[in-house]
């Protein structure tokens, strides 16, 4: 297979928060990989900006160490790393202060795309937008990239949208949800809309239910204070899981263009049912033999914040009425794995009789690990002994199906940053989408806060609280076992 890497146009990319964790672990290594792949033009420039007093060489040294830490030696190329680092410079700047802006303005070139990555805490987004405008650093060809969290409720998200809108047009704002940059997530759209096989079955007549699982083994240690104010609903469901739900549930857009896709996602969010306490299970991990309890990690003994949540959600439209979407996500679970499973209904009648057992087709889309898609198909068990049926997977693990290039699929961040430079907003959230997601989430959170609901305790290394199993058992269903 021939790899097609189309170089992007020349650009200046400023990373505010260029010394932070996200920049060091994801953004800069991702840019280096795109550089090695030949996607970055000779004339691309990257400017790190943060308060730390560094010079260009000090910044390059920091970035070199960061890249060497996250990328195995056999995936790096020493010469290419030197050449990549040559493209980097650094400007000390305080987002909310006065100093540094003139130096930044000077570092920018005319007639190239300017992108500004806001990889800082959300409280600085407004100040950055304001300063970029005030110092005429951003112009009509500029783009800003905004990290999560985008607000913590509808009110704060609206305020943030309004602040950004004062200086930037919606077409210049790229709200990142890195789940949308994952290869499999885009493949979900290719599978749905590039094949005739699935779309006719993609509705409540044929689909029994859908499961979306994002499981993590780590706790909240390190970011406990932030997490305790958010919880799994705000941190994961309102954005990542909601986006996945939208891509599964949306109607085919007329074209694969940013607004056509985002219009369809928005309609899904607006069609979500309001859900009551019986459809929600919240959990909080307790201490394990070697791990601290959530309350210790969050340094809040009385915390009522959930580190796990499972939800049953209905989508009230002609396509999905009657087919529930089950979502679950949590910390300190048994495996680190994310999967979407489309569970189809049983065949209407089994001609093979009771002894053939009950079989279902399941389309499983794995986001991590081993990104890939598997379709469970029922066949006859080989050999004599009558008509015994077994389920076998039609497996399309990308690494196997695409050969060595499949193993090297770009990370979500690198793909999304290149989309910013290309000016393609399809995989970014529009302001009204984010607000609609908060409109759905807010009353649910408000209701459990009003009731002072206490999350169910669960053991670290488990699949979450028992009550999450019951949520499905009630309807004769069960969660899929998620394997690492």
Q: Does 119 bind ligand NAP (CB under 6 A)?
A: yes
Beta sheet of 173-175, edge-to-edge order: 88-92, 45-50, 11-16, 113-118, 142-146, 173-175
Site string for ligand NAP, 365-384 (x = CB under 6 A): --------------------
Q: Does 31 bind ligand NAP (CB under 6 A)?
A: no
The SS3 call for residue 436 is helix
Of the pair 19, 323, the CB lying nearest ligand NAP is at 19
Nearest one of 104, 145, 96 to 123, comparing CA atoms = 96
Of the pair 41, 58, the CB lying nearest ligand NAP is at 58
HEC sequence for 384-430 = CCCCCEEEEEEEEEHHHHCCHHHHCCCCHHHHHHHHHHHCCCCCCEC
DSSP codes joined into one string, 11-25: EEEEEETTTSHHIII
Supply the minimum distance, in Å, between the C-beta of residue 54 and ligand NAP: 8
The correct pick among 85, 120, 247, 313 for binding ligand NAP (CB under 6 A) is: 120
Q: How far is CA 175 from CA 49, 102, 352, in A?
A: 20, 27, 52
Q: Supply the DSSP symbol for 452.
A: T
Active-site hit among 240, 349, 359, 473? 240
The SS3 call for residue 209 is strand
Of the pair 234, 265, the CB lying nearest ligand NAP is at 234
Site string for ligand NAP, 142-171 (x = CB under 6 A): -----xxx----------------------
Q: Does 324 bind ligand NAP (CB under 6 A)?
A: no
Q: Does 96 bind ligand NAP (CB under 6 A)?
A: yes
- At 245, which helix (H) or strand (E)? helix 242-249
Q: Does 329 bind ligand NAP (CB under 6 A)?
A: no
Stretch that binds ligand NAP, among 46-54, 75-83, 336-344, 401-409 (CB under 6 A): 46-54
Q: Does 47 bind ligand NAP (CB under 6 A)?
A: no
Of the pair 128, 315, the CB lying nearest ligand NAP is at 128
Q: Does 180 bind ligand NAP (CB under 6 A)?
A: no
Of the pair 51, 135, the CB lying nearest ligand NAP is at 51
Determine whether 240 is an active site residue. yes
The residues, ordered by sequence, that sit 6+ positions from 421 with a Cβ below 8 Å of its Cβ are 8, 9, 11, 13, 113, 115
Binders of ligand NAP among residues 289 to 318 (CB under 6 A) are: none
Backbone angles phi, psi at 287, to 5 degrees: -70, 145
Pairwise CA distance, residues 454 & 127, whole Å: 37
Residue ranges that bind ligand NAP, judged by CB under 6 A: 16-23, 50-52, 93-96, 119-122, 124, 147-149
Show which residues are catalytic: 240
């Amino acid at each position: 297979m021939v790899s097609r890497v189309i170089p992007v146009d020349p650009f200046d990319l400023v990373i505010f928060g260029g010394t932070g964790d996200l920049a060091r672990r994801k953004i800069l290594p991702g840019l280096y990989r795109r550089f090695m792949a030949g996607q970055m033009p000779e004339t691309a420039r990257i400017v790190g900006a943060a308060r730390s007093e560094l010079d260009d060489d000090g910044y390059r040294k920091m970035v070199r160490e960061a890249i060497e830490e996250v990328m195995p030696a056999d995936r790096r190329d020493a010469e290419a790393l030197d050449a990549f680092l040559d493209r980097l410079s650094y400007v000390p700047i305080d987002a909310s202060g006065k100093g540094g802006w003139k130096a930044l303005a000077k570092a920018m070139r005319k007639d190239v795309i300017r992108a500004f990555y806001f990889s800082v805490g959300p409280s600085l987004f407004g100040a950055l937008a304001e300063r970029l405008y005030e110092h005429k650093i951003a112009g009509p060809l500029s783009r800003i990239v905004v990290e999560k969290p985008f607000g913590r409720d509808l009110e704060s998200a609206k305020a943030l949208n309004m602040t950004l809108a004062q200086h930037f047009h919606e077409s210049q704002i790229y709200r990142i949800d890195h789940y949308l940059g994952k290869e499999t997530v885009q493949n979900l759209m290719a599978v749905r809309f590039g094949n005739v096989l699935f779309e006719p079955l993609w509705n409540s007549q044929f689909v029994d239910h859908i499961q979306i699982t994002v499981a993590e083994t780590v706790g909240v240690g390190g970011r406990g204070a932030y997490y305790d104010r958010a919880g799994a609903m705000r941190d994961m469901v309102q954005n990542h899981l909601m986006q996945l739900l939208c891509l599964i549930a949306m109607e085919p857009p007329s074209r694969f263009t940013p607004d056509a896709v985002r219009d369809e996602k928005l309609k899904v969010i607006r069609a979500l049912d309001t859900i009551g306490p019986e459809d929600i299970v919240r959990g909080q991990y307790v201490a394990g033999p070697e791990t601290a309890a959530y309350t210790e990690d969050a340094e809040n003994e009385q915390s009522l914040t959930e580190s796990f949540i499972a939800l049953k959600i209905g989508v009230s439209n002609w396509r999905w009425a009657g087919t529930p979407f089950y979502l679950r996500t949590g910390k300190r679970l048994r495996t680190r794995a994310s999967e979407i499973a489309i569970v189809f209904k049983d065949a209407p009648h089994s001609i093979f009789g009771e002894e053939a057992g009950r079989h279902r087709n399941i389309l499983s889309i794995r986001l991590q690990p081993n990104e890939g898609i598997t379709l469970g198909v029922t066949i006859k068990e080989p050999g004599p002994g009558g008509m015994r049926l077994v389920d076998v997977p039609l497996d399309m693990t990308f690494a196997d199906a695409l050969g060595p290039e499949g193993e090297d699929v770009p990370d979500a961040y690198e793909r999304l940053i290149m989309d910013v430079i290309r000016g393609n907003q399809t995989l970014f959230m529009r302001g009204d989408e984010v607000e609609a997601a908060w409109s759905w989430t807010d009353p649910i959170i408000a209701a459990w806060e009003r009731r002072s609901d206490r999350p169910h305790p669960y053991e670290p290394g488990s699949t979450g609280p028992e009550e999450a199993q019951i949520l499905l058992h009630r309807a004769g269903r069960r969660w899929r076992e998620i394997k690492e």
